[in-house]
Amino acid sequence: MSGTVIHLPQTDATGLSENWLFRHCGEMHWDYLCAAMGVGGVNSEEMRDDLGKRLYPTFVAIRGRYEKPLSTVCMDERFQTSVKLKHFGRAFFQGIITVRNDAAHFEIEMLTTFVARNREGLNDLHQSLPASNLAYNCEPLGAPPSLLKLSQTLRHRNITEYDFLGYRFSLLATALDLSAGYEPSPYIDYNGAGLLYFAAYPTIADTLERQLVLRHELMEGVGDWAVRTSTVARDVFYYRNLNLGQRLTATLKRFDRVGENIILHTTLTAESDGAALADIFTAKRVRP
């Protein structure tokens, strides 16, 4: 268990930064994963498959559930982070990362696998496995996590309805189809491996959703969408990466008022060929 004090680097204009929260939990997940595999870190020479190709741990899906809106976190609050790591077969690791104090509880489920590049310098990736001589020193799962099964059905479009926080809606019928384009920044959206960073996907979605909400006046009343709402839940399903310099399109499929929350469903696709990059489901609490 590790401790963190919330200062300016952990916040954004809305309160506790979810981008920071994803990065923090992702780092903890990778640290525990590498320790379980007995390798020195994600950049270790041992992080290779049986053919000797460099492996990159990559995210399949993330589920975040926040007991309180992120905006309620104040400066100088102290939090403790704990990690429970399990593996399913040799391909997948599931991490349950909890960040909490006496007043708030944030839980993030992280599901990861391993990929290798098809060609150096490009983010065309294929799934691979760590070398067979590496043993996994953590608890095995006897069945695939439900988040993995959900990710696979979404990836292959074998699902027509989605249940998010008990609110069930159609993935086929939508009243919205609003889009905005974006070129991810090499300075804030990509990591040192040259990959579009997993924590950037929801931040990009938030940024473009805000543009669409303001442009199309989807939210009644005055004030900026970003500070009038705060995230309380997030599901992210990752399908592909994006080469540096390429553009993506965010399409807002759903904007539903459900009680004190607004449920959003946004897809990210590559602008060049329309290939799916991610599905992002978000619940935003409307602030008083």
* 288 residues of the chain, pLDDT tens digit each: 679 999 999 999 999 999 999 999 999 999 999 999 998 888 878 889 999 899 988 999 999 999 999 999 999 999 999 999 999 999 999 999 999 999 999 999 999 999 988 888 778 888 999 999 999 999 999 999 999 999 999 999 999 999 999 999 999 988 788 999 999 999 999 999 999 999 999 999 999 999 999 999 999 887 899 999 999 999 999 999 999 999 999 999 999 999 999 999 999 999 999 999 999 999 999 988
Query: Which residues fall within 8 angstroms of residue 180, CB to CB, at 6 or more apart?
Result: 208, 211, 212, 249, 250
Query: Which residues fall within 8 angstroms of residue 76, CB to CB, at 6 or more apart?
Result: 5, 6, 7
Strand runs labelled E in the chain: 2-5, 11-12, 15-16, 56-66, 78-88, 92-100, 105-117, 125-127, 139-140, 161-164, 167-170, 178-182, 229-238, 248-258, 261-270, 276-286
- Rounded to whole angstroms, how far apart are CA atoms 266 and 237? 11
Q: Give the pLDDT confidence score for residue 187 in this predicted structure.
A: 97
Q: Give the pLDDT confidence score for residue 173 in this predicted structure.
A: 84
Q: Give the pLDDT confidence score for residue 286 in this predicted structure.
A: 94
- Rounded to whole angstroms, how far apart are CA atoms 264 and 209? 9
CB 16 within 8 A of CB 78: no
The DSSP code sequence of 204-226 is: HHHHHHHHHHHHTT-S-SSS-HH
Q: Give the pLDDT confidence score for residue 126 in this predicted structure.
A: 87
Instruction: Give the predicted TM-score (pTM) of the model.
Output: 0.95
Phi then psi for residue 91, to 5 deg, are -95, -25
Q: Give the pLDDT confidence score for residue 1 in this predicted structure.
A: 63
* Domains of the chain with CATH codes: 2-286 (3.10.129.10)
Q: Give the pLDDT confidence score for residue 177 in this predicted structure.
A: 87
Residue 237, both tokens: 């399903």
Q: How many CA atoms lie within 13 A of 244 on its CB side?
A: 14
CA distances to 2, 37, 102, 105 from 196, rounded to whole Å, are 27, 25, 35, 28
